[in-house]
Amino acid sequence: MNCASVEKEEHIATVTLNNPPANVLSAACIAELRSIFQELGRDEGTRAIILTGKGRFFAAGADIKEFVPKLGEREQGLSLAEGGQKLCDEIESMKKPVIAAINGPALGGGLELALGCHFRMIAEEAAVGLPELKLGLIPAFGGTQRLSRLTDTATALDLILTGRTVSAHEAVKLGIAQCAVKEEDLLETAAGVAQSFVEGKSMTSVMRAVECIIEGGKESLEQGLERERQRFAELFLTADAKEGIQAFIEKRKPNFIHS
């Protein structure tokens, strides 16, 4: 059974979770999503990606029913956590911008999935939360780490220890999402943002910028600056840099070949 679909329009791919009724992230869904993002990463025709959900939910988290037969086995716990972490890590490590369009509740692993994306927008009616402690567990798809980095330690402790649900506007205020829009405008707005990230730009520079921001954020300042210098020097060798600079001098639009 397919848990997600992919549609492409004008170099923008939209990945839609479709595992009714709540778009839970079963092991099969996680594997399918990993495969989808790996393929989109290789696809030269895809320049930006939108991740959203079909129906009322963005994603209600991991499939808790799958946990039951695995309880009491440490290796099973490690495997479950590793599967979700690898998916979120792969999304975060994409060199093409990935936008989470949170159309409905994003809870537990669903929020962690959105946190792995580079940019998050949320429908005004949606809400987010990490309720794992109420199950005697902790967030394990990267939530304890990404939430504290996106917000701060105190906010991460508040949301994870209380397990409370946060409204769309509070999510924006806390820095979990970048903007809140009406649900009916969500995908159109996400597409506009995706286009603004890549339109009129060389993908050789877009991909290196994303890499420097995401990977450099995991490094020391000195390491991040070294990465930035190296990628800048690499771009100096590209046809697109030559075209972009010449177009600027000639006051015309560049004709990038993305190489």
Mean pLDDT across the stretch 175-199? 97
Are residues 219 and 153 part of one domain? no
Are residues 230 and 174 part of one domain? no
Q: How confident is the model at residue 60, as a pLDDT? A: 94
Mean pLDDT across the stretch 125-144? 97
Q: How confident is the model at residue 1, as a pLDDT? A: 57
Are residues 237 and 116 part of one domain? no
Last residue of a domain, one of 182, 198, 214: 198
Structural domain for 222, as ranges:
203-249
Round to whole Å and give the CA distance between 78 and 148. Answer: 22
Reduced to 3 states (helix: H, G, I; strand: E, B; else coil), residue 124 is coil
What is the chain's mean pLDDT, rounded? 96
Catalytic residue at 73?
Answer: no
Is residue 120 in a domain?
yes
Q: How confident is the model at residue 192, as a pLDDT? A: 97
Residue 14: strand pairing partners: 7, 50
Q: Which two tokens mark 210?
A: 């994303």
Is residue 99 in a domain?
yes
Is residue 259 in a domain?
no
Task: Reply yes or no: is the peptide bond before residue 21 cis, omega within 30 of 0.
Answer: yes
Are residues 239 and 180 part of one domain? no
Give the active site residue among 132, 183, 188, 222.
132
Residue 58 has pLDDT above 90, yes or no: yes
Are residues 171 and 132 part of one domain? yes
Round to whole Å and give the CA distance between 253 and 241. Answer: 13
Are residues 173 and 107 part of one domain? yes
Whole-model pTM over 0.85: yes
Catalytic residue at 9?
Answer: no
Distances (CA, A) of 237 to 25, 104, 153, 204, 213: 43, 45, 42, 11, 21
Mean pLDDT across the stretch 235-242? 96
* Cα 193 to the center of its chain, rounded Å: 14
Q: pLDDT above 90 covers what percent of the chain?
A: 93
Are residues 187 and 77 part of one domain? yes
Are residues 164 and 102 part of one domain? yes
Are residues 218 and 180 part of one domain? no
Are residues 218 and 111 part of one domain? no
| Structure confidence at residue 160 as a pLDDT band (50, 70, 90) | very high
pLDDT (tens digit per residue) in 35-49: 999 999 999 999 999
| Structure confidence at residue 149 as a pLDDT band (50, 70, 90) | very high
Are residues 111 and 215 part of one domain? no
Is residue 92 in a domain?
yes
Are residues 238 and 176 part of one domain? no
Round to whole Å and give the CA distance between 130 and 109. Answer: 8
Is residue 32 in a domain?
yes
Helix axes 221-235, 203-216, angle to 10 degrees: 170
Mean pLDDT across the stretch 63-74? 90
Q: How confident is the model at residue 18, as a pLDDT? A: 96
Is residue 258 in a domain?
no
Mean pLDDT across the stretch 69-85? 92
Give the active site residue among 10, 32, 90, 112.
112
